[in-house]
Amino acid sequence: MNLRQKISANLHFAMIWPAALLFAVFFIVPFFSGVGISLTNWNGFGAPKWIGLQNFFDFFKDERALHALYITVLFGLISPILMNVFGLLYALLLDCGLRFSSLVRAIVYSPAVISSLIMGYIWLLIIKPETGALHQILTSLGLGQFYPDLLSDGSKAIWAIIVVNSWQYIGGSMIVYLAGLQTIPQELREASVVDGCGPIAGFFKITLPLLIPSVKINLILNLIGCFSVFDIIMALTSGGPGYSTESLSIFIYRMCYGSSTGYSTAVALILFVVILIPVLFSTWTLKKKEVDM
């Protein structure tokens, strides 16, 4: 190895250090600090006292925490399904050469660039009982009795939140799928038609297998975002009525600022595992289905 090659090799190694340092400072150190805090009863102010795994045992005895876990899992599984199914349908529609496809793409994607908190408040102004725009419109038409009060009942409110969140981020999934569709060689589609494949058979035998990388990207991003949901719930219901729509992220936030920092940190680690399991499972499952073009 000559001098230039040695310098180049050392330069490449040196360029890794800034990223590695940032990763250590903002992830590795906080993560292990959090593990340590989760094993104490620290209230955020005084001296922490070691209590071992008691916080984790307390979590599985806490009905409010378990309900927040249920809401998190429900939201984290249903919302990504809706975003991926409808995002793919939009992408397939635009890939067919639809007129004004650029305009449709911009309209569908535009909600995704708005903050979830702001979008939640916008929808709150629409569906809020009594003073919401939807209620006012129905009342002016003499149909006020048919207004579906979506936010006063927790069992309805969580589904309203799921629909609003999915509607907002369908555009992001659509863009990823559309990019994937445009990388599929036209020759493969034409060959499938020559071989007698109809549109549905061609989709499942040609298009979908070649879209697995796009499915993986969307699924991982959507799972992480939906399992850690916070903003949209805070804007629409603040976790209510009562605690019926409270997610684990909101529960952690309230426990942390409620003098239960050690307990909230333990719940945060549980949330980390809850997110990690479906992400690893989906990655492993989809990796086996990838097709090389």
CA distance 135 to 129: 7
Its sign, for the CA torsion 221, 222, 225, 228, is negative
pTM: 0.89
Question: Taking phi first (over 0 means left), then psi (-120 to 50 degrees means alpha), and beta for anything else, what does residue 48 get?
Answer: beta
Res 89: pLDDT: 93
Domain ranges of the chain: 62-287
Give the number of other Cβ atoms within 10 Å of residue 207's Cβ.
19
User: Residues near 96 by Cβ (< 8 Å), separated by ≥ 6?
Assistant: none
Mean residue pLDDT of the chain comes to: 88
* Residues 225 and 166: beta-carbon distance below 8 Å: no
For residue 49, the surrounding DSSP H or E stretch is none
Longest dimension (CA), the chain: 86
Res 147: pLDDT: 82
Res 43: pLDDT: 87
Task: Report DSSP state, residue 28.
Answer: I
Backbone angles phi, psi at 40, to 5 degrees: -125, 170
Res 262: pLDDT: 94
Res 222: pLDDT: 95
Task: Give the pLDDT means over successive 10-residue stretches in the chain (293 positions).
Answer: 63 80 90 93 88 95 96 96 95 83 89 92 90 88 83 90 95 93 81 73 83 92 94 93 94 89 95 94 84 53
What CATH homologous superfamily does 62-287 map to? MetI-like (1.10.3720.10)
Res 59: pLDDT: 96
Give 78-83's long-range contacts (Cβ < 8 A, gap of 24+). 78/162, 79/162, 79/165, 79/166, 79/222, 79/226, 79/229, 80/218, 80/219, 80/222, 80/223, 80/226, 82/162, 82/163, 82/166, 82/170, 83/166, 83/169, 83/170, 83/172, 83/173, 83/218, 83/222
Res 96: pLDDT: 82
Res 234: pLDDT: 94
